Every structure is written in C-alpha cells, then in structure tokens.
Chain A
Amino acid sequence: AQSVAQPEDQVNVAEGNPLTVKCTYSVSGNPYLFWYVQYPNRGLQFLLKYITGDNLVKGSYGFEAEFNKSQTSFHLKKPSALVSDSALYFCAVRDPSNTGKLIFGQGTTLQVKP
C-alpha cells in the first residue's frame, strides 16, 4: 500500500535561513509526489509535483523539492525562509489505483521567526 511519512510535526527556522521539510514515501511502481501548503482556515494550495525527469523540482513561492529514489525521499526546500511561509505543509503520493487519489502525510507545521 502507498504511504507517506512526515517525521517532523514542527520545523522552526529563522527568517532568511534555508528550510527543509522532510518527506519519505513508500509506493509500488513509479512514485508521483506532491507538496501542498495549508494556511489557517484555508484549503490546500498546490506547491509542486514530481512526475518524472529532473530530480530537483521547482514550484510556487520559491519552493523546490528534491526527489531521491534511493532514499525514497521527497524533501521540500527553500533557500531563504520568509515569515509568510509559516503554515502547515503536506506531502502526498498518488495512489495508482483506478482513482489516482492522493494519500497524504500527517503534515508538518513550519514556523518562521523574524
């Protein structure tokens, strides 16, 4: 069965510093991986996805993610964090079933302090 793990409940980083939010996955077949962000009282906003090709994927708001097949990881990164990046981040994997539904991790709260 497909699954995603986000090992950190919360990540704290100072504004201007690089940030990493970790995600590992378990899938059968090719992994299709996604990152979403959720601001308070809002829905999920798509950030980026890995389908195939270059292991470094660039997305919205300066975020990027690195796909590592050998480590089955898809960590979200940003070179310089902003206070406005503070939110809840979800990693997800596509289920290759007949629906293609997303299976989400438990989420990681990112706190960026000024």
Chain B
Amino acid sequence: GAGVSQSPRYKVAKRGQDVALRCDPISGHVSLFWYQQALGQGPEFLTYFQNEAQLDKSGLPSDRFFAERPEGSVSTLKIQRTQQEDSAVYLCASSLASAADVSGNTIYFGEGSWLTVV
C-alpha cells in the first residue's frame, strides 16, 4: 500500500490476555519503529528494526513486550499478560533510510492500534 498499515485499529483486551499488533511498513522501507502514545501525551519510543535486525529495544517497558520483524518487512508487537497501564495507542513508523543514514529521512507513521485493557 501507499502508507504504513496497522491492524487491528482497535483492540479491547481483558487484563491478562495476550495481544498481537501488526504493522505493514511502506514497501522497501528499511527502518521500522514502534512507539507507544498514552492519552494526551507525545509518542514514546519502544523499539527499532533495521530490516530484520532489532537494533534497539531500550524503550520496551517490560519483558511482557516483544517485537519481531522476521523477514524484514511486516512487524508484530506482542504484549503478554496485558495490564491496564498498557492501554495506549501503539504507532508503527517506517523510513527508507537505514540507521547509518537516517538524518534527513522522513519517518512515516501509521494510523495506530488503539489498545484498551479492561
């Protein structure tokens, strides 16, 4: 597609349930980012992939969060045993450049996956 595609757009999970959020980046984009955006806040970095390699996962809030991009294209963010504090919008973004040449490249965001944990 023309843009970054995320699914599901909306997810309601019961506390303790596992969820998986999918991201389809712009075709050919090397870099892929996941961000978490709490209500009324700016997006916070979670993790970064360059192709299939996860180069930075410093923003993942706990070991319940796991991300993968096995073939260097589609990525999945998985949250195990969801808690109420996990309720947020999860934004996926991609960029054409690799990490070594990122300076001027624009990062394009998807519409987000809105997770509510009840």
Contacts and interface: CB of A to CB of B under 8 A. Distances in A.
Interface of A: 30, 32, 34, 36, 41-46, 49, 51, 90, 94, 96-107
A75 to B, nearest CB: 17
Nearest to B45: A101
Interface of B: 4, 6, 31, 33, 40-45, 48, 50, 55-56, 91, 93, 95, 97, 99, 102-112, 114
B13 to A, nearest CB: 19
28 contacts: A32-B103, A32-B104, A43-B112, A44-B43, A45-B109, A46-B106, A46-B109, A49-B104, A51-B104, A90-B42, A90-B43, A94-B102, A97-B56, A98-B56, A99-B31, A99-B48, A99-B102, A100-B99, A100-B105, A101-B33, A101-B45, A101-B48, A102-B33, A102-B43, A102-B45, A102-B107, A106-B41, A107-B41
Nearest to B98: A100
Contacts of A101: 33, 45, 48, 56
Given A32-B104, A46-B106, A46-B108, 10 more contacts: A34-B107, A44-B93, A96-B103, A98-B56, A99-B55, A100-B99, A101-B33, A101-B45, A102-B43, A106-B42
